[in-house]
Each structure stands twice: as structure tokens, then as C-alpha cells.
């Protein structure tokens, strides 16, 4: 029977375990805050409602590396309710026990906190069930619906269900259709909430994203849909909003009157690893630019929202995306650079070229690097270039947003032997998370030499605490019903409308002579030339 028609039991009062453990957590927090005053006032514990977490693609790489370790971590730190049930769904045959054993092994490899807390794991393992399911099998989905009803009775999951789709993108439409067919999407007053979390990539161009949104919205109301871009769950990315809107001194200079340009870099030292066939279809533009990079742009460039309510925030981000002028054929040629790595050396190790990677076409024209000059044509940013770059097999892993301010109006220190450079505010998203401000200072001594110095805030030393993984933040928010860090349908489409003309333009042009940068180099020469034409250069990170 469809759960929509079954009155769910009212959510149980907090259990003794929860009360006991919350008290324990508060005690720990207080102790931490006593030691380190910067930790005072950190986000308070909120425990989600009792619920079933239905994980599609539970045997896949993403589930094992990211989703399940995040659930374990939330469980271990008492952020999940006692009435929590993980229903793992995938095609392969497993019993509850064999699946739990496999997860335990993965936690040993991928959990960010080691060793595994056996007592916490034993409790979580009791709440894991496995259901074998072919996504096109109607009977299988009927059984899943029955099982979820049974869990409401046995485990007190109260009719609340979060469907997490960690599957191949091509399976999303079918799974959502089946969920709708058996009525698992229905939210009926007091019978529990229903939400669906969808992993990226969300579409592969503007049209396919629109189609996917249409199919998903046939079943789920937009307020039930949580599209993941894991960058939005990163601590330092969330801090961007605090930095901009929790401080009074930056906002007045955060505009075209003071900012010369903005550079955003997402550099990776890794290659495509075991994802050759996925990457062949994706490339750096779809994999990073359309989502992670453009999301960073929105947070840097948006107007202050009226609140951090999900829609207020996303409305402002959407305005930024809509103000980016999609590149036309001429701009694609002049302002956008694509690259592909050849063999080389990365961090002292020899690396193969992209075309030699497993599952990659030896004549592939897929880009592993993209850089471009974009403009946001609105009142605040008109005329300020945003230079974006992302690539694989670059010299190091580094994600950074750098806001470079204009030069002083009059170079009063031109006689100085130093060379004061314009102010830069660099926000290091990862690694070495922190914020750096570069400014001019007088060199001690009798003369008047001026040099640039850095003032640095370092997350690790200031807070002396490990940040949660982005997936922990996002999964918890999904369970709490807070969609502010998830992308809305119109946002995804607006981001695709920036990137799609570029991808289509490239398809109609002869590809550059690939490979055009060696593994371990900072991308192709053309990316440096792009900056040099504007009298600028990429920051050395
Ligand atoms: C993913 C991309 O979205 O982000 C990967 O598909 C990339 O290709 C990864 O490696 C980078 O994420 P992070 O968190 O390591 O910067």
C-alpha cells in the first residue's frame, strides 16, 4: 500500500539516548569553547526528524567514498535521530549483513575520522537494510514502498523519507518516475515529508537540464528537490557569505569602483583516475565550470540577500548567473581557452597524458583545462573581468578566489626601491583554508622603501578544529529541510545557459592541437596570453 495513504505515527518525543547524547555534545562544545573563544557560538546542534534515508546507487563509488562516511560521521557525533534508518538500494544481490560488512570496510578506508568507533558503528549497522532493485522493475518499487511502511512501524521513521540518488545520471529520470508511480513522493499533512537529493552532473547542456528538471518536477514539487553541488557544502565556501555579509568593511569596496578584477582557480593535481569514460563525455567545462566555478562566482558577486532563507539566497545567486553574458563565437575564440594535458611530471611523479589514460580515446578532443574571461553585466560589476580557470594535472591542488583591487590613484612611492603591488584579497578554499590580504608596508630602516606584505587568517590555527566534509553539511541540511546550499532548477538552467554556447561553439570549431600542456604545468600558454592581452597575469598560487 502506498505510504501516502497510511497515517504515519506522530514523531516520537526525543529519546533518552538523544537527550543524553545531546547533553554530552553540549558539554564537549562548551569545553572546546572554553579552550578556544573563537569556537563560541558555533552552529547549534539540531537533530533531524525521525526518517528513512533511501540511498539509490548504494554499492557505487560515491556512496562508499562520500555519502556513507558522511552518514557515519553524523551518526557518530549524535546529529542523527535514534529513529533513523538507512535503506540501501542497488542492483547487486546482498543481504543486510553482507552489505553492512562491505560498508564497514569502506569506512575503514574513507572515513575522515579513524579509527572507526565500533560502538557507534554497531548501533548504526542495526539501522541499515539492503534492498536489491532493478530501477525499471515495477514490482521492486512496490516492495520498496511496503518496506518503508514497515520501517515506519518497526523503527518509528514517521513517514519521513529522503531519497538520495547517487546513481548514474541516466538513471535519475526512471527512478524519480518510479518513486512517483508508487506514490512515495506524496507529502500529506502529518504523514511525513518526502525529499529527493540529486547528484551532479545535472544535465549535459541547457536543453537536457531543462528536460531533466521537467521530468523531476512532474513528480516532486521544487521545494522537495535538493540538487547537490558539493562545493556549496565546503566550510570555506560557506564562510564566503559570512565574510561578505557578516563584516561591514568589505561591502563598500566590493564593486566596480574599487575592484580591478577577480580570479577564481580550481586546480587539481590528479588526473581523471578511474573515471576516463565519464570524463570523456564531460570535460572540464561540464565537470567544474558549469557548477563549482559558477557557484563560486555567484557567491562572490551576488547582492546581499534579505535573509539566508533558501529562496532569498538563491534568488540573488540567480541574478548573477543571468547577468553573465554567454560568450558568442568571437568571444569563444578570444576569451576562452581549452587545454588537454600530455605526459609530464606532477609533484615529482611521472604522469601519463590524458589520451593514454584508461577508457580515453587516444585521439580525444576532450578538454581537461578551461580558462575564460567572463563579465557580469550588472550595476555592481559592469566592466570588472572575472577570470576563471579549472584544470586537471596542474602542479598542485588549490582552489582560490582572489579579488584584486585597483591601483592607488597616484603612485606616491614611485621613488621607493620597492614595488608596491595592488591590494589583493585571496580566499583559499582548499587546502590551507584561510584568507589573505596583501597590502603595502614600509620596510624598516631610514629610507622609505615600500614592499607588499601579507596578512593571513588561517582556519586551522584559528579554530583548531577539523572542518566537516561538505557531504556531512549537505546531508544534514537535506535531512533538516534546509535547501539554501542546494541549487534550484532555474539556477542550474541559468548556469547551463552560460556554458552551453561555449560547448556548442567549440564543437563547431577545429579543436586546438591537443595535448597543449604538460602534466604538471599551469595549463596551456594561451591561458597566460589571455591574461597578458589584458595587461594582467594569473596569480601564482
Ligand atoms: C567533482 C568532479 O565534482 O569535483 C571531479 O566531478 C573533481 O572531477 C571534484 O575531482 C573536485 O572536488 P574537490 O572537493 O576535491 O575539490
Closest by Cα among 465, 269, 301 to 369: 269
* Of 33-47, 119-133, 220-234, 456-470, minimum mean pLDDT range: 33-47
The three cell numbers of residue 271 are 588526473
pLDDT confidence of residue 19: 36
The pLDDT tens digits of the residues spanning 284-305 come to 999 999 999 999 999 999 999 9
pLDDT confidence of residue 412: 82
Q: What does the pLDDT average to over 318-324?
A: 98
- Please give the number of the atom of ligand 1 that sits closest to the Cα of 268: 10
- Please give the number of the atom of ligand 1 that sits closest to the Cα of 282: 6
Distance CA 85, CA 149 (A): 12
Give me the CATH topology for the region 16-199.
Answer: Rossmann fold (3.40.50)
Q: What does the pLDDT average to over 63-81?
A: 96
pLDDT confidence of residue 432: 87
Phi-psi region of 481 (alpha: psi -120 to 50; beta: other; left: phi over 0): left
Q: Cα(231) to centroid of ligand 1, in Å?
A: 9
pLDDT band (50, 70, 90) for residue 27: very low
The pLDDT tens digits of the residues spanning 212-233 come to 999 999 999 999 999 999 999 9
First-residue to last-residue Cα distance in the chain: 58
CA atoms within 13 A on the CB side of 340: 22
Is the CB of residue 469 below 6 angstroms from any atom belonging to ligand 1? no
pLDDT band (50, 70, 90) for residue 12: very low
- CB contact burial 271-292 (16+ within 10 A = b; e otherwise): bbeebbeebbebbbbbbbbbbb
Residue 17 has pLDDT above 80, yes or no: no
- Please give the number of the atom of ligand 1 that sits closest to the Cα of 275: 8
Q: Which residues contact 467 (CB under 8 A, 6 or more apart)?
A: 234, 235, 236, 433, 459
The pLDDT tens digits of the residues spanning 455-504 come to 999 988 888 888 899 999 999 999 999 999 999 999 999 999 999 999 99
Residue 31 has pLDDT above 90, yes or no: no
> Maximum CA pair distance of the chain?
86
pTM: 0.90
CATH architecture of the domain with range 233-404+468-533 = 2-Layer Sandwich (3.30)
The three cell numbers of residue 458 are 588561517
When computed from its CA atoms, the radius of gyration of the chain, rounded to whole angstroms, is 25
Pocket residue to mutate for ligand 1, from 292, 394, 401, 428, most atoms within 8 A of Cβ: 292
Of the candidates 64, 186, 292, 334, the residue annotated as catalytic is: 292
Contact criterion met (CB below 8 Å) for 286 and 340:
no
Place of cell 583554508: 433
pLDDT band (50, 70, 90) for residue 8: very low
The pLDDT tens digits of the residues spanning 262-274 come to 999 999 999 999 8
Residue 29 has pLDDT above 70, yes or no: no
pLDDT confidence of residue 45: 60
Q: Which residues contact 87 (CB under 8 A, 6 or more apart)?
A: 52, 53, 54, 55, 129, 130, 131, 144, 147, 148, 151
Minimal-distance CA residue to ligand 1 atom 6: 287
pLDDT band (50, 70, 90) for residue 421: confident
Pocket residue to mutate for ligand 1, from 60, 288, 296, 468, most atoms within 8 A of Cβ: 288
> What are the distances in angstroms from CA 336 to CA 368, 372, 462?
14, 4, 38
Residue 82 has pLDDT above 70, yes or no: yes
| Cβ atoms within 10 Å of 101's Cβ, excluding its own | 12
> What are the distances in angstroms from CA 481 to CA 48, 55, 373?
9, 17, 36
pLDDT band (50, 70, 90) for residue 261: very high
292 classed as catalytic:
yes
Whole-number mean pLDDT of the chain? 90
- Residue ranges of domains in the chain: 16-199, 233-404+468-533
Pocket residue to mutate for ligand 1, from 201, 268, 472, most atoms within 8 A of Cβ: 268
The pLDDT tens digits of the residues spanning 179-203 come to 999 998 898 777 899 999 999 999 9
Residue of 414 and 440 predicted with greater confidence: 440
Closest by Cα among 471, 74, 461, 430 to 236: 430
Contact criterion met (CB below 8 Å) for 339 and 523:
yes
Residue 414 has pLDDT above 90, yes or no: no
Contact criterion met (CB below 8 Å) for 32 and 40:
no
Burial tier of 378 (Cβ tally within 10 Å: 0-12, 13-18, 19+): middle
Q: What does the pLDDT average to over 123-137?
A: 94
The pairing of beta strand 398-405 with beta strand 341-342: unpaired
* Of 3-17, 406-420, 450-464, minimum mean pLDDT range: 3-17
> What are the distances in angstroms from CA 219 to CA 215, 225, 520?
7, 10, 46
Amino acid at each position: 500500500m502506498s505510504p501516502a495513504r497510511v497515517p504515519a505515527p506522530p514523531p516520537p518525543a526525543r529519546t533518552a539516548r538523544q537527550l543524553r547524547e545531546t547533553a554530552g555534545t553540549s558539554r564537549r562544545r562548551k569545553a572546546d569553547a572554553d579552550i578556544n573563544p573563537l569556537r563560541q557560538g558555533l552552529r547549534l546542534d539540531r537533530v533531524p526528524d525521525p526518517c528513512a534515508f533511501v540511498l539509490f546507487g548504494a554499492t557505487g563509488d560515491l556512496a562508499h567514498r562520500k555519502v556513507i562516511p558522511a552518514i557515519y560521521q553524523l551518526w557518530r557525533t549524535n546529529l542523527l535521530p535514534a529513529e533513523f534508518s538507512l535503506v540501501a538500494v542497488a542492483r547487486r544481490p546482498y543481504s543486510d549483513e553482507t552489505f553492512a560488512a562491505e560498508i564497514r570496510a569502506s569506512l575503514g578506508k574513507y572515513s575522515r575520522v579513524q579509527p572507526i568507533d565500533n560502538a557507534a558503528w554497531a548501533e548504526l549497522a542495526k539501522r541499515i537494510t539492503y534492498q536489491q532493485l532493478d530501477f525499471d522493475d515495477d514490482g521492486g518499487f512496490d516492495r520498496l514502498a511496503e518496506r518503508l511502511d514497515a520501517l515506519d512501524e518497526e523503527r518509528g521513521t514517521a513517514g519521513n523519507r529522503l531519497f538520495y540518488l547517487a546513481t548514474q545520471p541516466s538513471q535519475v529520470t526512471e527512478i524519480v518516475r518510479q518513486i512517483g508511480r508508487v506514490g512515495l513522493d506524496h507529502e500529506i499533512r502529518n504523514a511525513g515529508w518526502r525529499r529527493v537529493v540529486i547528484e551532479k552532473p545535472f544535465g549535459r547542456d541547457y536543453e537536457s537540464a531543462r528536460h531533466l528538471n521537467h521530468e523531476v518536477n512532474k513528480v516532486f514539487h521544487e521545494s522537495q528537490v535538493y540538487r547537490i553541488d558539493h562545493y556549496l557544502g565546503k566550510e570555506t565556501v560557506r564562510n564566503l557569505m559570512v565574510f561578505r555579509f557578516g563584516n561591514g568593511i568589505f561591502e563598500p569596496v566590493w564593486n566596480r569602483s574599487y575592484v580591478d578584477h577577480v580570479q577564481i582557480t580550481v586546480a587539481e593535481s590528479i588526473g581523471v583516475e578511474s573515471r576516463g569514460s565519464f570524463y570523456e563525455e564531460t570535460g572540464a567545462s561540464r565537470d567544474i565550470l558549469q557548477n563549482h566555478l559558477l557557484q563560486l562566482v555567484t557567491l562572490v558577486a551576488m547582492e546581499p540577500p534579505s535573509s539566508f532563507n533558501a529562496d532569498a539566497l538563491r534568488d540573488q545567486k540567480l541574478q548573477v548567473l543571468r547577468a553573465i553574458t554567454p560568450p558568442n563565437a568571437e568571444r569563444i575564440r578570444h576569451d576562452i581557452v581549452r587545454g588537454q594535458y600530455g605526459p609530464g611530471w606532477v609533484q615529482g611523479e611521472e604522469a601519463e597524458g590524458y589520451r593514454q589514460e584508461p577508457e580515453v580515446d587516444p585521439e580525444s578532443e576532450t578538454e581537461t583545462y578551461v580558462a575564460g574571461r567572463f563579465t557580469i553585466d550588472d550595476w555592481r560589476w559592469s566592466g570588472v573581468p572575472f577570470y576563471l580557470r579549472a584544470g586537471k594535472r596542474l602542479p598542485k591542488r588549490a582552489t582560490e578566489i582572489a579579488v584584486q583591487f585597483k591601483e592607488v590613484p597616484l603612485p606616491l612611492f614611485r621613488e621607493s626601491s620597492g614595488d608596491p603591488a595592488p591590494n589583493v584579497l585571496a580566499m583559499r578554499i582548499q587546502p590551507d583554508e584561510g584568507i589573505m590580504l596583501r597590502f603595502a608596508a614600509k620596510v624598516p630602516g631610514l629610507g622609505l622603501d615600500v614592499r607588499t606584505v601579507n596578512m593571513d587568517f588561517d582556519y586551522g590555527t584559528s579554530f583548531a578544529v577539523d572542518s566537516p566534509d561538505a557531504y556531512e553539511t549537505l546531508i544534514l541540511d537535506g535531512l533538516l529541510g534546509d535547501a539554501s546550499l542546494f541549487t534550484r532548477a532555474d539556477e542550474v538552467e541559468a548556469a547551463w545557459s552560460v556554458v552551453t554556447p561555449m560547448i556548442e561553439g567549440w564543437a563547431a570549431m577545429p579543436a586546438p592541437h591537443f595535448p597543449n600542456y604538460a602534466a604538471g604545468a599551469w595549463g596551456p600558454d594561451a591561458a597566460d596570453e589571455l591574461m597578458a592581452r589584458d595587461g594582467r597575469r594569473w596569480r601564482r598560487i
